[in-house]
A and B are shown apart, each in its own frame.
Chain A
Amino acid sequence: MATINSIFTTARSGITVAQTAASLVARNLANQQTPGYAREILPIAAALGGLGVSAGASVGMRATLLERALQTATGRTSFHESQVNHLTLAETAVNDLDGVGLGSDIEDFRTAIAALAANPSGTSEREQMLSTGRSLGASFASTRSQLDASASNVRSEAVSVAGQVSDLASQIARIDQRVRSARPGEERNTYVTQRAALVGTLSSLVDVDVRTNDDGTIRVSTAGGRTLVEGGSASRMVVESAGSPTQELTVSFERDGVKLAAMAGSQVGGALGGLIAAHEDTLMPAVQQLDALAFDFVNTFNATHAAGFTATGAPGGAFFATPTSTAGAAASVALASLLKAGDIAGASDPSAGVGDNSNLLILADIAGQGGTLASGTSLPASWRGISTLVSRALVNAQDGAEFEASSRDQLQNLLASETGVSIDEEMFNLTLAQTALEASSKVIAAAQQMTDTVLSLVG
């Protein structure tokens, strides 16, 4: 049989739980837009001995599977988005649509050679060939320099993103230690929310796999299997660059001062993976192909020019300065030193006369669609190949970003639906708590009345 005291105990527990529930509603409402926050619920159960109710520690309604899927989608979206900006800049360097670019300069050079072929003794035509040859060299150098600048920006950003990854990993590790020692309920949930927000940011920078341990801490590893955070300590991610557009970026990890083996950049994922992909798959090959093209073209052109004869019957020499190696060849395309208009070897036969244009026709062919370089393709076709490489990578990145962003948005919405705060629900919970509070108050009032009645009877 319940005593008056037990009635008070029951009512008091009801008031306490109602107050806790009301404060939880307040916290949910206050945090509805907090990144990483998942609505919390209050587990309520009958108190031991059947006297009233008791509330457990509030529980964050996290959807682990959805969070993991969102992290993956965020990583994939960032992978493409990080490439878009850099490749857009690179595309302007290899784009001839505005009538300015290496493609236009190649055609101008070919036009000048053809004009000279039509009038081999023309002084202005000779000067024009030299002038367009000079412009072609400058255009090769400028295109390489712009691609190099894009690659350099990508490298700097990759190094900076790796630094952000290390900072985030170390913040996550610090919070993880607190999660382990925090009291269940609000304190732990607060740390878990902060950690979720940081993991969300981290997942946009690199692909991560997050596993929750029994003690509430997490193990964060990269897609390549390297551990970033575990047991409250973090690894440092380092991106090293040789500072050259033709050398790969290396990604390595350091843990407790020990350097771990480097991993392939292609496995990193996220914004960093996108930057590495833009560097290794597009910008680096574009620069290498441009160098190879410049080297191939200059050597082929020079060989033909040297086989010809000038208007005075003298043997031809090099038209362009001969590059020493393929690496950096595009940066150094320039007319041969001291080359003058009279040194142009337009004739194939030293005794044919000043009107002989047969070598010029071959030279014009080398610079045109019909010419075949050592690589087996023509100069304009090779150039179009480089241009297409960059544009296609950009289109893939744009399409990928659009597609992945749509998946990411859907997952964000699903997660927001599962774990987000609903004001309607919270209003209902608040009303429920108020009603419980009122009911408990009424029980206390009734018990008070009973006590008074009993005391008056006794008295």
Chain B
Amino acid sequence: MRISQSLISNVLRQSADRAAQAVFKARQPVLEGTSLPTPSTDMAKAGRANLLDLFDRELARHDASRINLRSDLDMTELSLQGIGDVLVNAQDLALQLASDNVTDQARRDAASNAQGLLDQIVDIANRPDARGRYQFTGLNEGQPPLAADLAYQGNDGERIVEVAPGVSVASTLSGRDVFGPNNELINSLRDLVSAVKGGDSAAVRATLTGIESSRVRVSSTLQQVGRRMSTLDDLGDLTLSLRTSVQIEQGNLARVDIAQVAPAIQSAQTMLEAVLTTSQSILAQMGKSWFG
């Protein structure tokens, strides 16, 4: 190959350009603070990063839904426990007043206690949550489950909420699971109040079955709520571990690994210095050969 001055200057310029570009490229992740500033930097990594970001957002959304639902279930559990406690008290009261040793007058005197228990249940059931929604109403959560005449005015609708990838749970509870298909819980307490007011021990005794089956129903519903809560807790553990993995992978994708970048920068800088030194040396030798 014939060595012309244009060839030498071309080669020196091209080498210097390449070396300078290599230095810029090696330093870029440090300047940008990420090794993945744009999709064109690495299409596959960028696609993965976008999907991970979407997945992370989805998990965050599920976390929020789960936390809200868990809080709702906490309140439901408390309410059901409250209703259960009242039913136990009602059962105790009924057992006491069903005894033939209790006088009719004493039974009549206990009527206010029985009415108080019914009122407590209505009070617990018709209590709205912090967001103004009523429990035990199915989807009709804008109004209390028990009307003024204590008739059930909710429905059996279920609201499905996604709480983990591909996992949806019902976030509502129908009042029929608490009060019975035909409002048996309220009816049995009403019967108790009437029987107590009437001082009728046989009638009081007759309410025991209804109260007991209501208590069993409430207990069973409480277990159902407990299972939902347990599912949510399990899913919480699972999504926490998923989110951690996602965040680690996100970090790995975009993280600037100084241990990896530093040698690359060093090597590019050394290359640039070598090119510049060689260029100077070649130019000096050419000058010497021409002009002595």
Contact = CB atoms under 8 A, between A and B. Distances in A.
Interface of A: 32-33, 39, 88, 91-92, 95-97, 99, 103-104, 107, 111, 114-115, 117-122, 311, 349, 352-358, 361, 369, 380, 384, 387-388, 391-392, 394-395, 398, 409, 412-413, 416-424, 427
A91 B50 contact: no
B143 to A, nearest CB: 8
B139 A353 contact: yes
B50 A384 contact: yes
Nearest to B141: A355
A420 B50 contact: no
Given A91-B39, A387-B39, A121 B131 contact: yes
B190 interface: no
15 contacts: A88-B38, A91-B38, A118-B159, A118-B161, A353-B137, A353-B138, A355-B142, A387-B39, A388-B39, A388-B43, A394-B40, A409-B10, A412-B10, A413-B11, A413-B14
Nearest to B154: A353
Contact of A97 (B10, B39, B68, B157): B39
Contacts of A99: 53
A421 B172 contact: no
Interface in B133-179: 133, 137-142, 154-155, 157, 159-162, 171-172
B6 A107 contact: no
A361 B4 contact: no
Given A107-B54, A417-B2, A355 B140 contact: yes
Given A117-B161, A120-B159, A391-B38, A33 B9 contact: yes
Given A118-B65, A355-B139, A387-B39, 14 more contacts: A33-B5, A91-B38, A96-B53, A107-B54, A111-B61, A118-B159, A352-B139, A353-B140, A353-B142, A353-B157, A392-B43, A395-B43, A413-B7, A422-B5
B18 to A, nearest CB: 9
B50 A103 contact: yes
Interface residues of B, number: 54
A114 B141 contact: no
Contacts, number: 153
Contacts of B132: 121
A39 B4 contact: yes
B128 to A, nearest CB: 11
Given A355-B139, A355-B140, A107 B290 contact: no
Contact of B36 (A33, A91, A97, A115): A97
A354 B131 contact: no
Given A32-B6, A118-B65, A398-B40, A97 B49 contact: yes
B39 A95 contact: yes
Contact of A353 (B3, B43, B155): B155
A421 B64 CA distance: 74
B286 interface: yes
B4 A417 contact: yes
Q: Closest 5 A-B residue pairs measured CB to CB?
A: A420-B4, A420-B6, A353-B140, A355-B139, A416-B6
A424 B3 CA distance: 9
- In this complex, the member of A97, A121, A352, A427 whose beta carbon has the largest number of chain B beta carbons within 10 angstroms is A97
A298 to B, nearest CB: 21
B141 A115 contact: no
B71 to A, nearest CB: 11
B218 interface: no
Given A115-B65, A409-B10, A355 B159 contact: yes
A417 B7 contact: yes
A83 to B, nearest CB: 12
Interface in B97-116: none
